[in-house]
Amino acid sequence: MASMLFSEEHEIFRGAFRAFVAAEVTPNAEEWERRREVPRELWLKMGEQGFLCPWLPEEDGGLGLDFGYSMIVNQELIRGDGFGVGVPLHSDVATPYLAGYGTAEAKRRWLPGCLSGETITTVAFTEPDAGSDLAAIRTHAVRDGDDFVINGQKTFITNGWVSDLNVVAVKTDPSAGHRGISLILVDSGARGFERGRKLEKMGYHMQDTAELAFVDCRVPAANLLGEEGEGFRYLMEKLQQERLEVSIKCQTMAEECLKEAIEYTHTRSAFGRTIAAHQASAFKLAEMATEVELGRTFLEDLVAEHIAGRNIVQRVSMAKYWLAEMANRTAYAAVQLHGGYGYMEEYRICRLFRDVRSLPIVAGTSEIMKLIVARGLAPNSSR
């Protein structure tokens, strides 16, 4: 079904990026899965072609494109087996903090590298004892003259093994709860910045996920993003786009699982006819296709609202919860329709099934999304 969200210019961009993925990502995906990392050369190639941070305004060296182009990058990476490529987090989650709250000097220093692929960014929020409850973080920063001195640990950090610049949530006033949180940029070359383990995960293998540590890590006070104590508010402002980015992943993964199920059930036979011709399988495919179509309609409407600058916090929380669970239902059904072959690594659905399990967890669990939705359901509230 043709999408009303994308213009001819969007589709020209899609064609160019799809060709790039076919040449640079898909042939290497299995090797990157084994190595548990994506080479930096890919980032540099993407930067050279203008595929990183396409939304950055022209005055910052970018193309000034809308979020629809970021959506296309996310979709085509997944369709080309590059689900674990950490570019969407770099382009659409981490770099926006620098662009939105960084000083003019910080932007001059780092944004060119974000565009070229020479500077890989990440967000360092989650801690061993603080995930969805960001107010409970323990990493703290103390002002010392013209510097901040940071101590603490972070975990489950996407791009953490290769990051050059880290957006770190810290407590600058531990007694103030969430009002004591600040965001600070930490260069990976800073004294006292340490990488811990590269974490072994159930799926999402080509994506490096790491532990980070800060041991009397000294950074210039000018690396503070925005105002001290306003970090939690900045997080809330940017989480809308982060959850939308993950929702795009959910929908695209569901579409890919459905595609694999349709192709397999129409070519594999049992009891003298294709698996798709059996009523139980046909009904299951129909259910999967209906949910995927509903998800696509909801998601594209949300993206259009986001591009228009509207507040979609309530609805994107619904989307992130529902699409993540729907993607997992679709993956489960697709594996079941493959029978024993669905459990074999040589079949694409096996990896899709492993990878999709992360989606109800990242960027806020399904349970947290439900709490956000429920709190917005007050009588006479506008939604």
pLDDT digit string, tens, across residues 68-114: 999 999 999 999 999 999 999 999 999 999 999 999 999 999 999 99
What is residue 302's predicted lDDT score, i.e. its pLDDT? 97
What is residue 379's predicted lDDT score, i.e. its pLDDT? 77
Express as a percent the part of the chain with pLDDT over 90.
93
Which comes out higher in pLDDT, residue 365 or 133? 365
Question: How is domain 233-375 classified at the CATH fold level?
Answer: Butyryl-CoA Dehydrogenase, subunit A; domain 3 (1.20.140)
Helix ranges, the chain (H): 8-24, 29-35, 40-48, 67-79, 87-89, 95-101, 104-116, 231-267, 279-307, 313-338, 348-356, 366-375
Question: How is domain 122-228 classified at the CATH fold level?
Answer: Butyryl-CoA Dehydrogenase, subunit A; domain 2 (2.40.110)
What is residue 381's predicted lDDT score, i.e. its pLDDT? 57
Which comes out higher in pLDDT, residue 297 or 270? 297
What is residue 380's predicted lDDT score, i.e. its pLDDT? 65
Mean pLDDT of 126-132: 88
What is residue 135's predicted lDDT score, i.e. its pLDDT? 82
pLDDT digit string, tens, across residues 161-178: 999 999 999 999 998 888
For the chain, give the mean pLDDT: 95
Q: State the pTM of this model.
A: 0.94
Q: Which of 94-103, 287-296, 348-357, 374-383 has the lowest mean pLDDT?
A: 374-383
pLDDT of 383 higher than 80: no
pLDDT band, residue 382 (cuts 50/70/90): low
Q: Which residues are within 8 A (CB) of 351 and not within 5 positions of it... i.e. 6 or more apart?
A: 33, 203, 345
pLDDT band, residue 48 (cuts 50/70/90): very high
- Tell me which amino acid residue 243 is: R
What residues does 122 pair with on adjacent strands? 166
Extents of the domains making up the chain: 8-119, 122-228, 233-375
pLDDT of 64 higher than 90: yes
Q: How far apart are CA 340 and CA 344, in angstroms?
A: 7
Mean pLDDT of 254-275: 96
Select 8-119's CATH number: 3.40.50.300, 3.40.50.720, 1.10.540.10, 3.30.870.10: 1.10.540.10
Q: How far apart are CA 207 and CA 85, in angstroms?
A: 6
pLDDT digit string, tens, across residues 300-349: 999 999 999 999 999 999 999 999 999 999 999 999 999 999 999 999 99
CA 82 to chain centre: 12
User: So which residues are the catalytic ones?
Assistant: 242
pLDDT digit string, tens, across residues 182-215: 999 999 999 999 999 999 999 999 999 999 999 9
Nearest to 200 by CA among 171, 161, 228: 161
What is residue 134's predicted lDDT score, i.e. its pLDDT? 83
Q: Which residues are within 8 A (CB) of 50 and not within 5 positions of it... i.e. 6 or more apart?
A: 63
What is residue 4's predicted lDDT score, i.e. its pLDDT? 81
Mean pLDDT of 219-225: 98
In the block, tokens 């199920």 appear at 261
In the block, tokens 């509903």 appear at 294
- Contact between 249 and 199 under an 8 Å Cβ cutoff? The reply is no
Reported residue count of the chain is 383
Q: Which of 11-15, 106-110, 266-270 has the lowest mean pLDDT?
A: 266-270
Express as a percent the part of the chain with pLDDT over 70.
98
